[in-house]
Amino acid sequence: AQSVTQPDIHITVSEGASLELRCNYSYGATPYLFWYVQSPGQGLQLLLKYFSGDTLVQGIKGFEAEFKRSQSSFNLRKPSVHWSDAAEYFCAVGRSTGTASKLTFGTGTRLQVTL
Amino acid sequence: DAGVTQSPTHLIKTRGQHVTLRCSPISGHKSVSWYQQVLGQGPQFIFQYYEKEERGRGNFPDRFSARQFPNYSSELNVNALLLGDSALYLCASSLSGGAKNIQYFGAGTRLSVL
């Protein structure tokens, strides 16, 4: 069965500092990978996705992620964090099973930004 | 364009009661999925509906059921509520049912079971 691990439950960075959120997945085939962000009281917003091709993908709000098959990782990065980036970040694997398709999420990383 | 809309926003129920949550997908989207997000956890897949048919079900008891209407809106029903059903219930819509289709999420319904 597929699984997603986000090793860091909580990360604190200073505004303007760089950010890297870790994500490791377990899945037999080439995965469809996603990063979502959830602000308090909000639903999930898609930051970026990877299906195939270039392993470095760009997303919204200045985020990027790199797919590394050898490490089963899909880490999210941002060069300079803004206070508004404080939120919960979820990595997810998408797959089809039979007639269904679903997302399997990690437990999330809560990002705190200090001024 | 309107995004995925869910109602109600918040709900308080007592153990043993029944609850119905509603979801309207983005216009043109034919697939709706439901997820349960317990505090401190990532969302867990409950159901997927596509073209009004159930396409998949997660590891949830039969107390959970859902349906999709001809206008592609959807309802999630939970019977005999337990304290452990307290969670944020998220609805997501996508154009079709495949795994490459982006799922767009609503803001969720916060259910509290007392």
Give the pLDDT confidence score for residue B1 in this predicted structure: 63
Q: Find the closest chain B residue to A9 by CA distance.
A: B40
On average, the pLDDT of chain A sits at 93
Q: Choose from A102, A104, A105, A109 for mutation: most chain B CBs within 10 A.
A: A102
Give the pLDDT confidence score for residue A110 in this predicted structure: 97
Low-confidence ranges of chain B (pLDDT < 50): none
pLDDT in tens, A24-79: 999 877 789 999 999 987 889 999 999 988 999 999 999 999 999 999 999 999 99
H helix count then E strand count, chain B: 0, 11
H helix count then E strand count, chain A: 0, 12
Cβ(B88)–Cβ(B35) under 8 Å?
no
Tell me: pLDDT of A2 over 70. yes
Answer whether A92 touches B (CB < 8 Å). Answer: yes
Which residue among B90, B98, B107 places its CB closest to the CB of A101?
A: B98
Which chain B residues are Cβ-neighbours of A36 within 8 angstroms?
105
The proportion of chain A whose per-residue pLDDT surpasses 70, expressed as a percent, equals: 99
